[in-house]
């Protein structure tokens, strides 16, 4: 032995039959431009990226497109339904996404109104049912409601993605106890999908034992998005190792780290 | 019923038969195009790469394999979308 310790390998994770090494999923929105988007995604080490579906700008048909900067052959595109407030709009949007990209794996989110943009669970069930029936593999954004999450899982959703805090709020994981309970009961991957504001928030989510974390605003709205992307990568890895390592028990008092025997007198 | 006058739609159809032009609503904007037109020729006229977009005609997806054979009619509502950055 040369004295070095072999790095403990992460086993990676699987959703809908696809394997991923990185436990960080990143959004592609809110960046300054497409060059910055591409650089931040590269730095994050993410293999799966969320994307939105929108009307083409007819007055500028030759404008650069996301695919020119973020190669769909290199990254798994996860089309979302951001901006959809009804099940019908969400289903319509993802049918277009499937035609545009040929992907069945999608992120369903049906949201209530601002200022909370909280998941509309009734509309989410309706959309999930229609999408699953239509052959989609649905990763679903949802509230931190164990009954609702179970129902979505039993309907056939391939991943459960509760919020840690409202979308874009950067408030961190506000509900660690509920997230832990959702993780405990989930038989499919569980991702914390919203609310991460900085690297330690992502580490906290991973330490709770979730499968992966989805981050967009915390990277895109950092002063230096590329550096924050690196920080998120490190935090997710640290959080995963920390979870696997198993934290020490908390105690209500001090416990000296140095032996009390052999002290000089 | 007023048999002496034509409905707006009928008038439009007759005028279009005469001058061969179409009025479509594309991404919410009414636009005129010289006819006849298919989805493929519409995308070419706008200047879009068919590999990067998806098209919905009157709320029905048009599969890419059928762009060339899907003829458009005046009054059609089209949505042409692509992927952009999102969370």
B3-34 pLDDT, tens digit each: 455 566 665 555 555 567 899 999 999 999 99
The percent of residues above 90 in pLDDT, for chain A, comes to 88
pLDDT tens digits along A241-254: 999 999 999 999 99
Considering only A1-10, A174-183, B62-71, which range has the smallest mean pLDDT?
Answer: A1-10
Dihedral sign of CA atoms A187, A188, A194, A197 in order: positive
Chain A contact for B27, CB < 8 A?
Answer: yes
Q: Would you tell me how many other CB atoms lie within 10 Å of the CB of residue B60?
A: 9
Query: What's chain A's average pLDDT?
Result: 94
Q: How far A227 CA sits from the closest chain B CA (Å)?
A: 19
Across the interface, do A51 and B29 touch by the CB < 8 Å criterion? no
Ramachandran region of residue B20, left (φ > 0), alpha (ψ -120 to 50) or beta?
left
pTM for this predicted structure? 0.88
Give the 3-state secondary structure of residue A104. Answer: coil
Nearest by Cα to A167 from A50, A86, A66: A50
**Which residues on B lie below 8 Å from A167 (Cβ)?**
87
Alpha-carbon gap: B37 to the closest alpha carbon of chain A (Å) = 17
User: Which of B18, B32, B14 has its CA nearest to residue B76?
Assistant: B32
DSSP 3-state of A233? helix
Closest residue in B to A194 (Cα–Cα): B87
Q: Where in A32-177 does DSSP place strands (E)?
A: 48-55, 76-79, 105-108, 137-142, 159-162
Contact across the interface for A168 and B87, Cβ inside 8 Å: yes
Q: Which of B46, B64, B83 sits opposite A67 (nearest CB)?
A: B83
Question: C-alpha angle with apex A260: A255 to A265, nearest 5 degrees?
Answer: 145
The pLDDT assigned to B1 comes to 44
Report the Cα A155 to chain-centroid distance in Å.
21
| d(C-alpha A45, C-alpha A30), whole Å | 19
What angle do the packed helices A121-133 and A146-155 form, to 10 degrees? 10
Q: Answer yes or no: are the C-beta atoms of A121 and A93 closer than 8 Å.
A: no
**Among A83-87, A203-207, B64-68, the range of highest mean pLDDT:** A203-207
Cβ contact, residue pair A217, B87, below 8 Å: yes
User: CA B31, CA B22: separation in Å to the nearest integer?
Assistant: 8
Long-range contacts of A108-114 (CB under 8 A, 24+ apart): A108/A80, A108/A81, A108/A138, A108/A139, A108/A140, A108/A141, A108/A157, A109/A80, A109/A81, A109/A82, A109/A84, A109/A140, A109/A141, A110/A81, A110/A84, A110/A85, A110/A86, A111/A82, A111/A84, A111/A85, A111/A167, A112/A85, A113/A85
> Which value does ipTM take for this structure?
0.87
Q: Tell me which residues of A are annotated as active site.
A: 107
Q: What are phi and psi of B71, to 5 degrees?
A: -80, 140
Chain B neighbors of A95, CB-CB under 8 A: 56, 61
Lookup result for tokens 């029936």: A133
Distances in Å between the alpha carbon of A98 and those of A157, A209, B62?
17, 31, 12
- Omega before residue B36 within 30° of 0, cis: yes
A-chain residue closest to B81, CA distance: A55
A187, A195 in Cβ contact below 8 A?
no
Please give the Cα distance from A89 to A83 (Å, whole number): 9
- pLDDT recorded at residue B50: 87
Contact B61 A99 (CB under 8 A): yes
CA-CA distance, B24 to A135, in Å (whole number)? 31
Is B83 close to A97, i.e. CB distance below 8 A? yes
**What is residue A48's three-state secondary structure?**
strand
Q: Nearest 5°: CA angle at A120, between A169 and A210?
A: 60
The model's pLDDT over A149-171, given as tens digits with 9 standing for 90+, comes to: 999 999 999 999 999 999 999 99
Chain A CB contacts of B84 under 8 Å are 28-29, 51-54, 65-66
The distance from CA A262 to its chain's CA centroid, rounded to whole angstroms, is: 51
């Amino acid at each position: 032995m040369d004295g070095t310790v072999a790095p403990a390998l992460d086993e990676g994770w699987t959703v809908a039959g696809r394997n991923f090494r990185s436990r960080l999923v990143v959004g592609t929105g809110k960046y300054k431009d497409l060059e910055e988007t591409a650089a931040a995604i590269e730095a994050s080490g993410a293999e799966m990226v969320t994307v939105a579906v929108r009307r083409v700008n007819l007055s500028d048909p030759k404008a650069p497109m996301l695919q020119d900067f973020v190669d769909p052959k290199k990254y798994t595109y996860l089309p979302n339904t951001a901006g959809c407030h009804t099940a019908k709009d969400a289903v319509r949007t993802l049918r277009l996404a499937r035609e545009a990209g040929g992907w069945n794996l999608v992120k369903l989110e049906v949201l209530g109104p601002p200022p909370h943009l909280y998941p509309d669970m009734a509309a989410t069930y309706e959309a999930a049912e229609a999408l699953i029936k239509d052959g989609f593999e649905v990763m679903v954004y949802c509230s931190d409601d164990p009954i609702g999450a179970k129902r979505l899982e039993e309907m056939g959703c391939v991943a459960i993605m509760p919020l840690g805090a409202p979308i874009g709020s950067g408030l961190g994981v506000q509900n660690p106890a509920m997230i832990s309970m959702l993780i405990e009961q989930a038989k499919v991957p569980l991702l914390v999908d919203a609310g991460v504001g900085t690297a330690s928030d992502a580490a906290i989510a991973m330490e709770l034992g979730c499968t992966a974390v989805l981050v967009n605003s915390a990277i895109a709205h950092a002063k230096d998005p590329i550096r924050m992307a690196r920080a998120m990568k490190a935090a997710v890895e640290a959080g995963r190792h920390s979870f696997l390592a198993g934290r020490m028990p908390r105690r209500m008092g001090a416990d000296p780290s140095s032996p009390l025997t052999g002290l000089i007198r | 019923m007023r048999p002496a006058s034509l409905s707006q739609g009928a008038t439009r159809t007759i005028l279009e038969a005469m001058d061969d032009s179409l009025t479509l609503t594309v991404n919410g904007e009414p636009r005129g195009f010289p006819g006849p037109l298919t989805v493929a020729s519409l995308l070419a006229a706008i200047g879009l790469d068919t590999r990067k977009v998806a098209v919905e005609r009157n709320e029905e997806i048009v599969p890419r394999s059928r762009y060339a054979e899907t003829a458009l009619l005046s009054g059609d509502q089209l949505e042409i979308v692509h992927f952009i950055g999102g969370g």
